Amino acid sequence: MVRKVACIDRSNLNQKYQAERLILKIAFEDILSDFKNIIFREKVELEKNENFKQIIPYVVLQNNQNDIAIYQRRGNEQRLHGLWSAGFGGHIEDFEFKNNQDVQKLFIKSAIRELQEEFSDKEWFDLKFEGVINEELTKVGRTHIALVFSAMVNNDLFEPSREIEQIKWITIDESKNYQKELWSDMAIELIINNRNN
């Protein structure tokens, strides 16, 4: 089966999102017009085509003690194996998109689907949009852009999945002791900045 995922042609992506290392606090409503020109293309082709950015909802989970969830990377993205991640999420797939659907609902629906697959299908996740991160420093970054959300969860509901066998709940300060993927460092920085403003 051919897997088609949401992306945006760089020529249709506002230059403000294409900085080499971007951590942008912005309201959800303010990005929607910038991301309305999404298209769906084969994932295999997009992984090597830097003319497109795959749009990834990327969710940082927190519990009632303000700890964050991290896990060691496994699964499909070989380039990130062994690194720790604070982000749960994945591609927006074409089966999720309905004609004339607004992109805000699509992004949220896709983020929640990923959380329910990877973390738990026992609860509904209340997402808070934090902003956008982008980096052009890694091969993964040059073909992806992240819409960062946070969500408060009950950490007792975690169940292992194919990609996430073990999860740790740590403080944001403790996260500095883990070798993380670049996006996780950037997403944590975005959340800290948002909390301090």
pTM, rounded to two decimals: 0.90
4-196 CATH choice from 1.10.10.10, 3.30.360.10, 3.30.450.70, 3.90.79.10: 3.90.79.10
The conformational region for residue 112 under phi > 0 = left, psi -120 to 50 = alpha, else beta, is alpha
**Strand (E) or helix (H) holding 69:** strand 68-72
Q: pLDDT of 157-192, one tens digit each?
A: 666 666 676 788 999 999 999 999 999 999 999 999
Check residue 180 and report its DSSP letter: B
Q: pLDDT of 96-126, one tens digit each?
A: 887 666 888 889 989 988 888 777 666 667 8
- Measure Cα distances from 94 to 4, 6, 24, 80, 150 in Å: 6, 7, 27, 24, 24
Domain boundaries, the chain: 4-196
